[in-house]
A and B are shown apart, each in its own frame.
Chain A
Amino acid sequence: MNSNTVNAAIGFLSGLCLMVLIVINPAPAKALEVRKVTSPGGISAWLSEDHTIPLFAVRFSFKGGSAADPADKAGLAYFLSGMLDEGAGDMTSADFQKQVKQLNMRLSFSAEREAFSGSLQTLTVNRDAAFDMLRLALTSPRFDDAPLNRVRGQIALSLREDAKDPETIVGSRWMGLMFGDHPYARPIKGSADGLKAITGADMKDLVKRLFARDNLLISVVGDIDEATLKRLLDETFGTLPQKSNMPIIPVPSIKTDPQIAVIERDLPQSAIRFGHIGIKRDDPDFMNAYVMNHILGGGGFGSRLTDEVREKRGLSYSVYSTFYPLDQGGVFFGGAATVNERVSETIDVIREALNKMALDGPTAQELAEAKTYLTGSYALRFDNSRKIAGQLLGIQRQNLGIDYVVKRNDLVNAVTLEDVRNVAKRIISGDSLVITIVGKPKGVKSDGTSG
């Protein structure tokens, strides 16, 4: 599960959630109070206070990620995520990293397709100093030549690794087929050529365009009070420019005709990616689709795909399906990995499971059980500071409203059998699959031109 696609999908999955039947609802909302806090300078954050343990977690994101990279500098946002702890203000890379270490803080940044996000965890005792390191990283990163070239070398190594990794290849080829020359097709890490072309000036320019107050979302969870947070929001983010300046991502033309592409590699086991066009997060059918997919291939044991592919036939250790909704268009995909001799059988079983779902939908019992799982397990996403902060950030990013934590299980419970049957019919099709395979599959050949 190394590919960016899958990581993004998992991030998306964890950004959503669950519900239950008519059974009790162990609503996390009971224990969780979230409020919107706005600083005197006008910076807002969602805050959930809990003073049990002397630490807290901050998650934040800026809208605009790798899909906004310049075409000839693919990987710029990802490269930036590796450079923000490599020196800022008067501090060199070594000074900065030593200070992070001395403060025992955990600071990380990551580039996604449509956002650039960060995570800060600190012990309360180092609260102000930790926020100050974040301020420095965001407002005055240095991009000195030595660390720039060092990180460039590390990314180059990682790109070479990806180029050999079956899971990464199968995912990036699949995205390539689905999105063609649209920026969504590009791996988040970019390309070797893009990496070579990127300069420190490019990064400074991106920082100016990306790190702005109008595309910033923040969530804070743990041992911090509202007054202190307000002060620190202004001190940390208050000097960022008001307006961002990121390109608008065009609407992609997503592939609709089926295809199989085999990427030959000398491996004992073939990695398989399958899928087709999906839906966006703001589609009125999204929750219906989410519940339907849980029954089809979400969440491991008990799904139809796991039963058919793994439990009954032992074809794959892992098999799953998921919706991957991006702002401008969504896809549906899944994956499996099986010994080369059984690839054809595995694909047949997957096609049949998808077609069956499209034709008949789930049973009433399957729907009822999906609801009890999805609602009952929602609370499990809220059992530590960092996870809660991540959930709250995801809800903000998807624009679901601050009361979503409370409402969410009701939304799941409102899904009817007719809803899931209709959405399966509308979206799922085992005959329309675009399939990529990395390995030496027996009896399966590419049938398109781009394999």
Chain B
Amino acid sequence: MKDFADKLNQLKRSGISLKILLAACLTIAAANTAAALNVDVTHFKLDNGMQVVVIPDHRAPVVTNMVWYRVGAADEPVGKAGIAHFLEHLLFKGTDKLAPGEFSKIVRRNGGQDNAFTTHDFTAYYQRIAKDRLDLVMGLEADRMVNLRLTDNDITPEKAVVQEERRSRTDNDPSSLLSEQMSAALYIAHPYRKPVIGWMSDVKNLTREDAIAFYRKYYTPQNAILVVAGDVTVDEVRKLVGKHFAPLKNTADPGPRMRTPEPEPLAARRIKMIDDRAANPFVQRSYLTHNYGSAIAGRGHALEILSTILGSGPTSRLYRKLVVEQRQASFAGAWYDGDSLDNGTIGVYAAPSAGGSVAKVEAALDGVLAELVKGGITQEELDLAKSALIASTVYALDSQFQLAYLFGSALTTGKTVDDVLNWSKTIENITVDDVNAAAREAFAIKRSVTGVLLQKAETAGTAQN
């Protein structure tokens, strides 16, 4: 019975993929799986500054080839919301050597699958393909890193596609709209307030020149990371990288990533959205907090454990209290997103049982938070959460795509290969006091935005079904 909970989890600030929504699930997976893995990873840097990560996995004769760029929606100029994601679509158009659309056709003709995804912090492109085609796809990626060619004929239909994508994902779905409104309220200054796909009012005015300017500024070897996972050796990758990426000259210097920092939050915010298309009322709340790069050592890890204890699955505190014991809610849970470059968020959500009110369920939710902040967690809860998080790192080893994603997302959001490798060691060392301190600081109402979705106005004393 997880689908609704999953949907709520997806309301998190999430990435947009070209054809499928990857980032929503993967962000969660990534948070839970970076590992002290028993993983054989090698990384090095080319003379032009491009980073390379190799993760051999010889179980199947296939490879995952990914190129990550340290640029996302939070790096966009004012008035150009959505240009990072739009450009991602346009990277599948032509280059000096390839006709528009040829890229994916070549990949498919060779039995490969390709796609891409954009978040606030990174843009990534990948192919999954038989190992003997790695040479081919690396060549294609190197080509489009520096030789993109866009015409107005490419721009017009693709902009319509992105607008349809926005309608499908957001405008047709009130819970997505609420999520978008909440991000805009949570972040007063930082560009995380914008949706990755962009506001429709900006998207419809994006031009070829906007795309080219963004591309010229950010798509260059020193701003890119190659991650190769699968049935390949480090020597083979070195050879191919030497052929395709090492000869590329830097065409730009994106410089340090300077985003307007988010000021300390001073006031709780509330968003109430009434939409006739809403099927079930619910409440969710996000708190602005530390990310994994916090100056307080281990704070991100403590918040990860906190959200696990509070709201991960049917054994969590929120589910036990609100759904099982009090029977106030149909679903309740929590999440932590500490993977972003600049800030972290921790959040909670609950949907009232049939006939129950959002106001009551929110009060019950507040009760659980207050009890946790006051009484703290138990050693048993801590041990269970750690065990689950560490086990998730073993499960991650089973998927070359997930491993490649872990390292690529870490390296584009201010972390290192060692941070990923040592993740579970740090989890292991977190104490009850660490988690309690994190909870006391995180759950201050002034740090939060609360969002309520209703089908029609909820009047005092009247339960809405």
Does B associate with A?
yes
Known: A157-B330, A313-B157. A151 touches B1 (CB 8 A): yes
Q: Evaluate contact between A318 and B104: CB separation under 8 angstroms.
A: no
Smallest CB–CB gap between A16 and chain B, Å? Answer: 15
Residue B62 is within 8 A (CB to CB) of chain A in the complex:
yes
Q: Evaluate contact between B128 and A380: CB separation under 8 angstroms.
A: yes
Give every chain A residue within 8 A of B320 (Cβ-Cβ). Answer: 94
Residue A413 is within 8 A (CB to CB) of chain B in the complex:
no
Residue B53 is within 8 A (CB to CB) of chain A in the complex:
no
Residue A198 is within 8 A (CB to CB) of chain B in the complex:
no
**In the complex, what distance in Å separates the CA atom of A155 from the CA atom of B162?**
33
**In the complex, what distance in Å separates the CA atom of A112 from the CA atom of B130?**
32
Known: A301-B108, A372-B109, A379-B61. A154 touches B313 (CB 8 A): no
Known: A28-B61, A339-B167. A314 touches B160 (CB 8 A): yes
Residue A128 is within 8 A (CB to CB) of chain B in the complex:
no
**In the complex, what distance in Å separates the CA atom of A56 from the CA atom of B279?**
39
Q: Evaluate contact between B108 and A369: CB separation under 8 angstroms.
A: yes
Q: Which residues of A390-440 have CB atoms within 8 Å of chain B's CB atoms?
A: none
Give every chain B residue within 8 A of A156 (Cβ-Cβ). Answer: 354
**In the complex, what distance in Å separates the CA atom of A23 from the CA atom of B230?**
21
Q: Evaluate contact between B388 and A379: CB separation under 8 angstroms.
A: no
Q: Evaluate contact between A154 and B4: CB separation under 8 angstroms.
A: yes
Smallest CB–CB gap between B66 and chain A, Å? Answer: 15
**In the complex, what distance in Å separates the CA atom of A31 from the CA atom of B61?**
7
Residue A311 is within 8 A (CB to CB) of chain B in the complex:
yes
**In the complex, what distance in Å separates the CA atom of A161 from the CA atom of B453?**
13
Q: Which residues of B81-101 have CB atoms within 8 Å of chain A's CB atoms?
A: 92, 101
Give every chain B residue within 8 A of A121 (Cβ-Cβ). Answer: 395
**In the complex, what distance in Å separates the CA atom of A314 from the CA atom of B89?**
12
Q: Evaluate contact between A26 and B130: CB separation under 8 angstroms.
A: yes
Q: Evaluate contact between B1 and A383: CB separation under 8 angstroms.
A: no
**In the complex, what distance in Å separates the CA atom of A268 from the CA atom of B170?**
11
Contact of A317 among B114, B165, B315, B327 (CB under 8 A): B165
Residue A326 is within 8 A (CB to CB) of chain B in the complex:
no
**In the complex, what distance in Å separates the CA atom of A97 from the CA atom of B384?**
13
Residue A63 is within 8 A (CB to CB) of chain B in the complex:
no
B-contact 0/1 string along A343-383, CB 8 Å cutoff: 00000000000000000000000000100111111111011
B-contact 0/1 string along A272-306, CB 8 Å cutoff: 00000000000000000000000000011110000
Residue A102 is within 8 A (CB to CB) of chain B in the complex:
yes
Known: A97-B314, A266-B277. A373 touches B108 (CB 8 A): yes
Give every chain A residue within 8 A of B398 (Cβ-Cβ). Answer: 53, 55, 222, 384-386
Give every chain A residue within 8 A of B315 (Cβ-Cβ). Answer: 94, 97-98, 101
Give every chain A residue within 8 A of B264 (Cβ-Cβ). Answer: none
Q: Evaluate contact between B19 and A157: CB separation under 8 angstroms.
A: no
Smallest CB–CB gap between B447 and chain A, Å? Answer: 29
Smallest CB–CB gap between B17 and chain A, Å? Answer: 11
Residue B209 is within 8 A (CB to CB) of chain A in the complex:
no
Nearest CB in chain A to that of B327: its residue:
A150
Q: Evaluate contact between B394 and A269: CB separation under 8 angstroms.
A: no
Smallest CB–CB gap between B333 and chain A, Å? Answer: 13
Q: Evaluate contact between B323 and A150: CB separation under 8 angstroms.
A: yes
**In the complex, what distance in Å separates the CA atom of A154 from the CA atom of B113?**
36
Give every chain B residue within 8 A of A161 (Cβ-Cβ). Answer: 4, 7, 279-280
**In the complex, what distance in Å separates the CA atom of A267 from the CA atom of B168?**
10
Known: A166-B172, A314-B157. A123 touches B391 (CB 8 A): yes
Known: A24-B132, A164-B278, A164-B279. A267 touches B112 (CB 8 A): no
Q: Which residues of A329-344 have CB atoms within 8 Å of chain B's CB atoms?
A: 337-339
Nearest CB in chain A to that of B282: its residue:
A157
Residue B129 is within 8 A (CB to CB) of chain A in the complex:
yes
Q: Evaluate contact between B387 and A102: CB separation under 8 angstroms.
A: yes
Give every chain B residue within 8 A of A299 (Cβ-Cβ). Answer: 108
Known: A314-B157, A314-B158. A268 touches B167 (CB 8 A): yes
**In the complex, what distance in Å separates the CA atom of A59 from the CA atom of B173?**
34
Residue B60 is within 8 A (CB to CB) of chain A in the complex:
yes
Give every chain B residue within 8 A of A222 (Cβ-Cβ). Answer: 398
Residue B353 is within 8 A (CB to CB) of chain A in the complex:
yes
**In the complex, what distance in Å separates the CA atom of A428 from the CA atom of B276?**
39
Nearest CB in chain A to that of B312: its residue:
A101
Residue A449 is within 8 A (CB to CB) of chain B in the complex:
no
Smallest CB–CB gap between B206 and chain A, Å? Answer: 13
Contact of B354 among A28, A157, A271 (CB under 8 A): A157
Smallest CB–CB gap between A193 and chain B, Å? Answer: 15
Give every chain A residue within 8 A of B160 (Cβ-Cβ). Answer: 313-315
Nearest CB in chain B to that of A100: its residue:
B315
**In the complex, what distance in Å separates the CA atom of A31 from the CA atom of B398?**
16
Residue B331 is within 8 A (CB to CB) of chain A in the complex:
yes
Give every chain A residue within 8 A of B330 (Cβ-Cβ). Answer: 153-154, 157
Q: Evaluate contact between B4 and A380: CB separation under 8 angstroms.
A: no
Residue B399 is within 8 A (CB to CB) of chain A in the complex:
yes
A-contact 0/1 string along B379-416, CB 8 Å cutoff: 00000100110011011011111000000000000000
Smallest CB–CB gap between B455 and chain A, Å? Answer: 9
Q: Which residues of A239-264 have CB atoms within 8 Å of chain B's CB atoms?
A: none
Smallest CB–CB gap between A336 and chain B, Å? Answer: 9
Known interface pairs A161-B279, A314-B157, A337-B167; 5 further A-B residue pairs with C-beta atoms within 8 A, sorted by A's residue number: A53-B397, A150-B327, A164-B279, A267-B277, A271-B172
Nearest 3 CB-CB pairings of A with B: A376-B111, A314-B160, A314-B157
B interface with A by C-beta (< 8 Å): 1, 3-4, 7, 19, 58-62, 92, 101, 104-105, 108-114, 128-133, 156-165, 167-168, 171-172, 230, 276-280, 313-315, 320, 323-324, 327, 330-331, 351, 353-354, 384, 387-388, 391-392, 394-395, 397-401
Pairs across A and B, CB under 8 Å, 10 listed? A31-B60, A85-B314, A101-B315, A150-B323, A267-B277, A271-B172, A301-B105, A318-B19, A383-B60, A383-B401
A interface with B by C-beta (< 8 Å): 18, 20, 23-24, 26, 28, 30-32, 50, 52-55, 82, 85, 93-94, 97-98, 101-102, 104, 106, 121, 123, 146, 150-151, 153-158, 160-166, 222, 265-269, 271, 299-302, 307, 310-318, 337-339, 369, 372-380, 382-386
